[in-house]
Chains A and B, each alone.
Chain A
Amino acid sequence: MSIARFWRETPQRYNLGGSRCSVCQHVYFPPRTVCPSCTNHRASIGKMVPFQLSGDGEVTSFTVVHDAAEGFEMQVPYVLALVKTVEGPTLTGQVVDVDPSQVTIGLKVRATFRKLREEGKAGVIHYGYKFAPRTDDRSAAERSRSRAGTFGKSASEPASA
Chain B
Amino acid sequence: MRDVAVLGVGQTKFGELWDRSFREIGIEAGLQALVDAKLSSKDVQALYLGSMASGSLVDQEHIAPLILDYAGLSSRHLPALRVEGGGASGSLAVHQGYLAVASGLYDYVVVGGAEKLTDVPDTTGNQIASASADHEWEVVFGATLPALWALIARRHMHEFGTTREALASVAVHAHAQGAKNPLAHYRNKLTIDQVIGATPVAEPLGVFDCAPLSDGAAAIVLGPWEKARQHTDTPIRIRASEVGTDTMAVHHRRSVTTLDSTVAAAERAFRSARRAPADVDVAEIHDAYSIAALCALEDLGFVEKGASGPAFARGEFSGGRLMVNPSGGLKAQGRPFGAVGVAQIVEIVRQLRGEAGERQVAGATVGLAHDVGGTGATSVVHLLERAN
Chain A interface (Cβ within 8 Å of chain B)? 6, 9, 13, 30, 60-70, 72, 75, 77-78, 80-82, 89-94, 105, 116-117, 126, 128-130
Contact = CB atoms under 8 A, between A and B. Distances in A.
Contact of A69 (B143, B155, B203, B256): B143
A94 B142 contact: yes
Given A80-B202, A82-B250, A126-B140, 15 more contacts: A13-B140, A30-B136, A62-B154, A63-B202, A69-B142, A69-B143, A75-B142, A82-B256, A92-B138, A92-B141, A92-B250, A93-B141, A94-B141, A105-B155, A129-B141
A23 B204 CA distance: 41
Contact of A90 (B127, B136, B251): B251
A64 B136 contact: no
Contacts of B143: 69, 80, 92
Contacts of B141: 80, 92-94, 116, 128-130
25 contacts: A13-B140, A60-B256, A61-B155, A63-B147, A63-B150, A63-B153, A63-B203, A63-B205, A64-B203, A65-B202, A66-B199, A66-B202, A68-B142, A68-B144, A70-B127, A80-B142, A80-B143, A80-B151, A82-B151, A90-B251, A92-B250, A93-B141, A117-B142, A129-B141, A130-B141
Interface of B: 123, 126-127, 130, 136-144, 146-148, 150-155, 158, 199-205, 249-252, 256
Contacts of A65: 142, 144, 147, 150, 201-202
Contacts of A130: 141
Contacts, number: 102
Given A80-B202, A91-B251, A61 B142 contact: no
A69 B251 CA distance: 18
A102 to B, nearest CB: 14
